[in-house]
Amino acid sequence: MVAKRIIPCLDVKEGRTVKGVNFENLRDAGDIVELAARYSGEGADELVFLDITASHDRRRTMLEWVERVAGALRVPFTVGGGIGSEREVEALLRRGADKISINSAALDDPSLIDRLARGFGSQCVVVAIDARQEGGLWRVYRRGGRVATSRELFEWAAEAEARGAGEFLFTSMDHDGTRRGFALEPLARLGEQARVPVIASGGAGSLEDFLAVFTDGKADAALAAGIFHFGEISIPGVKRYLAGAGIPVRL
């Protein structure tokens, strides 16, 4: 059985790690390089770095920040934020990224997924989907959760996969930062629909939440930020708990 992955996330603003609730009320969570080195040493399976204001500010991900973080890592590294072209992906891969995460640019121009999959391989292309429940549907948002689209979670995921997405990073905006658990129902539905791995994001608050996201939520990986940044739960602690519950993890 394929091991489930535990992935800390660095939401980066102005060169610092930040964390909020429902994508708002951000507070400082520490130095990006120090946190990256800590998580790499603690046994994180991967690290995700999101330049969270790049799309809104209509600029590229800051390459200097990416290079500094990559230098502190011994695990696979995914970078997202403001990525909109093959040239930008090439620059990020040269600076140490292993995979890239696209969101707003893919919604603006879905053919970007096709081009990146052809140019770099689907394994390099993570499509991030930020969504919240509205009127019984999961509406997809862009620009760091600031702008609603006409897209619905499951139809957008189906199109993105058909175009070459190699992985999904699904964040429930309703659950983000609340520490009340992951959005298990849409995660399970997405996991059953998709033929590529699904990373669950938004809502981790307890060890039990991580167990639930792999059993009831059918996720392939669980991403968390604040609970790791502020020392409330450790990555080794999560992995020991999951292993004890029979979930395959890398110890």
Catalytic residue among 45, 130, 176, 209: 130
User: Exposed, middle or buried by CB within 10 Å (0-12, 13-18, 19+), for 66?
Assistant: buried
Nearest one of 92, 78, 90 to 45, comparing CA atoms: 78
Residue 11 annotated as catalytic: yes
What is the distance of C-alpha 19 from the center of its chain? 14
Structure tokens at 48: 């995700």
Which ranges in 79-234 belong to alpha helices (H)? 86-94, 104-108, 111-120, 153-163, 184-193, 207-215, 226-229
d(CA 79, CA 101): 6
Catalytic residue among 11, 45, 209, 220: 11
d(CA 37, CA 86): 28
Residue 109 annotated as catalytic: no
Task: Count helices and strands (H / E) in the chain.
Answer: 10, 12
CB distance 5 to 215 below 8 Å: no
CB distance 92 to 125 below 8 Å: no
d(CA 10, CA 42): 15
Amino acid letter, residue 101: S
Amino acid letter, residue 247: I
Amino acid letter, residue 250: R
Residues with catalytic roles: 11, 130
